[in-house]
Amino acid sequence: MACDRNSDALSDVAAGAAASTDLLAHLAACEACRTELAVLRQALAVADEEMTRLLAVEPRPEVDARIRSAVAASEPVRPGRAGWLGPALAAAALLVVALAVILTRPPSPEPTVAVDTRPPPPPHTPAGESALAGAASGSALSQGPRPAGRPAAPAEPEVLVPTGGTEALLRLVTLVHRERLTPAVLGAVDRPAADLAELRPIDIKPLEIVPLGAAESSGT
Amino acid sequence: MVLDGAIAAGWAGTVSLNPALEREFEARLSDSSRLAFKVALSVLRRREDAEDVAQEAFLRAHRSFGAIRDRERFRAWLVRTTFRLALDRIRGERRRSRREDAVAMDARLGEGTVEDDVARVELRARVAEAVAGLPEKLRLVTVLVAIEEQDLGSVARLLELPEGTVKSRLHRARKELAEKLRWLVIETPTR
């Protein structure tokens, strides 16, 4: 067993580093360390021998011809078949749509977002009330601006869609997902998102909590 | 380790090269197919598997040849790609089943007694395991130094690294190997 304080230095020397004067003096006096160094060197000799033996295996002579045949047989890429083109076009189209929505939106003192997942309002409902979307909690527009740098809570909606636009958005997302989006299927609508300017918070009354015991006792 | 963009994109086919590029590719193939084979062999330890991986590496090289036609750059790219493909392949195989590759690849067993063969297989398996257990960058340096017959300058060019870095990595690799394999020497003192 080698002296503990020399084990790292012995590995270094076995791996090819020069031994220090102190280590050489110690080796001259310590048989255990000499033995350990010999063992480490022999271990490396075993590894070198095995690597040499393995790498002595040569490829068969026909390998180059086989590679040439494989290259010649592989299918050339034709223009328009590149796999990245469809997704890239889709991403670009989506970016244009998103920019159009952002740029046509009037400035708001409350920079919050909401998702409209509800159907269009009935005819008698005022447009401003119906356009508030995704406000099941009533908090998206009523909380005011968040402090800078604070991330949105996961439950908050992140996309503001004009009333009636949900279907078109879902269709767009589906086309992107199926990589079938081309400029031909996109139709531009030259109309500002007027509904968005009329968004107002809605009031939701606090939930009334009825104790379970009271309800059961009143039922019996 | 970063692969070429065309590989990451996973194109289905290959590009058609003009005749001049095809001639250059042919020269690279003749020049470097053995290198790719040896790199793959060092990981896979079976000739057939190494040939398959070398072929796959050249198929990918053909797709990206416009960007890697320079000889030094081509060989560096080929080494990285082949090494990565070989590692991916062996990891996939290990997920499916563990194989006794030391036995499969060795046609020279049977020269001594059965006990000798068993001991030799065990020894080779342990050495292979120790090399495979090295960090990838140390492992690749170790393999390339063996392939290039200790020419550190050549290895440095293949890895596109300073020679000092290669030397440092080689030292770390050998130190680690010595420490991993020392017990093997102690247990089998009469090899």
Instruction: Evaluate whether residue A42 is within a structural domain.
Output: yes
Query: Do A45 and A90 fall within a single domain?
Result: no
Query: Do A11 and A108 fall within a single domain?
Result: no
Closest alpha carbon within chain A to B190: A42
Q: Which residues in A lie closer than 8 A to residue B16 (C-beta atoms)? A: 76
Confidence band, pLDDT 50/70/90 cuts, at residue B85:
very high
Contact A74 B9 (CB under 8 A): no
B59–A contact, CB cutoff 8 A? yes
Which of B53-67, B113-127, B162-176 comes out lowest in average pLDDT? Answer: B113-127
ipTM over 0.95: no
Query: Do A17 and A114 fall within a single domain?
Result: no
pLDDT in tens, B114-161: 677 777 788 888 899 999 999 999 999 999 999 999 999 999 999 999
DSSP state of A156: S
- Rounded to whole angstroms, the Cα distance separating B11 from B95 reads 25
Q: What is the pLDDT of residue A215?
A: 52
Residue B14 main-chain phi, psi, to 5 deg? -125, 165
Q: Which of B121, B148, B162, B122 is nearest to B39 (CA)?
A: B148
Please state, as a whole number, how many other Cβ atoms lie within 10 Å of the Cβ of residue A187: 6
Length in residues, chain B: 191
- Rounded to whole angstroms, the Cα distance separating A9 from A37 reads 10
Confidence band, pLDDT 50/70/90 cuts, at residue B171:
very high
Q: Which residues in B lie closer than 8 A to residue A14 (C-beta atoms)? A: 174-175, 178
Instruction: Count CA atoms within 13 Å of residue A103 on its CB side.
Output: 8
Residues 139-168 of B with CB under 8 A from A: 142-143, 146-147
Residues in chain A whose Cβ is within 8 Å of chain B:
11-12, 14-17, 36, 39-44, 46-48, 50-52, 54-55, 57-60, 63-64, 66-68, 70-71, 74-77, 81-84
Instruction: Evaluate whether residue A109 is within a structural domain.
Output: yes
B103–A contact, CB cutoff 8 A? no
Instruction: Evaluate whether residue A12 is within a structural domain.
Output: yes
Of residues B55 and A94, the one with the higher pLDDT is B55
Smallest CA–CA separation between B119 and chain A, in Å?
A: 13
Smallest CA–CA separation between A39 and chain B, in Å?
A: 6
- Rounded to whole angstroms, the Cα distance separating A77 from B65 reads 14
Smallest CA–CA separation between B47 and chain A, in Å?
A: 7
Q: What is the pLDDT of residue B69?
A: 81
Smallest CA–CA separation between A28 and chain B, in Å?
A: 21
Query: Do A166 and A116 fall within a single domain?
Result: yes
Please state, as a whole number, how many other Cβ atoms lie within 10 Å of the Cβ of residue A123: 5
Out of B12, B51, B184, closest to residue A43 by CB: B184
Instruction: Evaluate whether residue A64 is within a structural domain.
Output: no
Instruction: Evaluate whether residue A67 is within a structural domain.
Output: no
Query: Do A94 and A190 fall within a single domain?
Result: yes
Give the number of beta-carbon pairs within 8 Å between A and B. Answer: 135
- Rounded to whole angstroms, the Cα distance separating B174 from B138 reads 9
Question: Mean pLDDT across the stretch B58-69?
Answer: 88
B128–A contact, CB cutoff 8 A? yes
Query: Do A95 and A163 fall within a single domain?
Result: yes
Query: Do A133 and A189 fall within a single domain?
Result: yes
Query: Do A109 and A179 fall within a single domain?
Result: yes
Closest alpha carbon within chain A to B26: A68
Please state, as a whole number, how many other Cβ atoms lie within 10 Å of the Cβ of residue A66: 17
Contact B146 A44 (CB under 8 A): no
Question: Mean pLDDT across the stretch B2-7?
Answer: 38
Query: Do A161 and A93 fall within a single domain?
Result: yes
B14–A contact, CB cutoff 8 A? yes
Instruction: Evaluate whether residue A185 is within a structural domain.
Output: yes
Contact B127 A57 (CB under 8 A): no
- Rounded to whole angstroms, the Cα distance separating A204 from B30 reads 77
All domains in chain B, ordered by first residue: 1-99 (1.10.1740)
Instruction: Evaluate whether residue A35 is within a structural domain.
Output: yes
pTM, whole model, 2 decimals? 0.59
Of residues B14 and B54, the one with the higher pLDDT is B54
Q: Looking at the 3D structure of chain A, how many domains does it have? A: 2
Q: Which residues in A lie closer than 8 A to residue B180 (C-beta atoms)? A: 43
Weakly modelled stretches of chain A, pLDDT under 50: 78-82, 110-114, 125-154, 219-220
Out of A17, A47, A50, closest to residue B171 by CB: A17
Residue B147 main-chain phi, psi, to 5 deg? -65, -40
Contact B38/B147 with Cβ under 8 angstroms? yes
Query: Do A90 and A46 fall within a single domain?
Result: no
Reduced to 3 states (helix: H, G, I; strand: E, B; else coil), residue A181 is coil
- Rounded to whole angstroms, the Cα distance separating B7 from B75 reads 16
Domain span at residue A37?
A: 4-55
Query: Do A118 and A182 fall within a single domain?
Result: yes
Confidence band, pLDDT 50/70/90 cuts, at residue B68:
confident
Q: What is the pLDDT of residue A205?
A: 74
Out of A16, A40, A43, closest to residue B171 by CB: A16
pLDDT in tens, A10-49: 999 999 999 999 999 999 999 999 999 999 999 999 999 9
Query: Do A186 and A129 fall within a single domain?
Result: yes
Q: What is the pLDDT of residue B97?
A: 57
- Rounded to whole angstroms, the Cα distance separating A151 from A148 reads 9
Instruction: Evaluate whether residue A25 is within a structural domain.
Output: yes
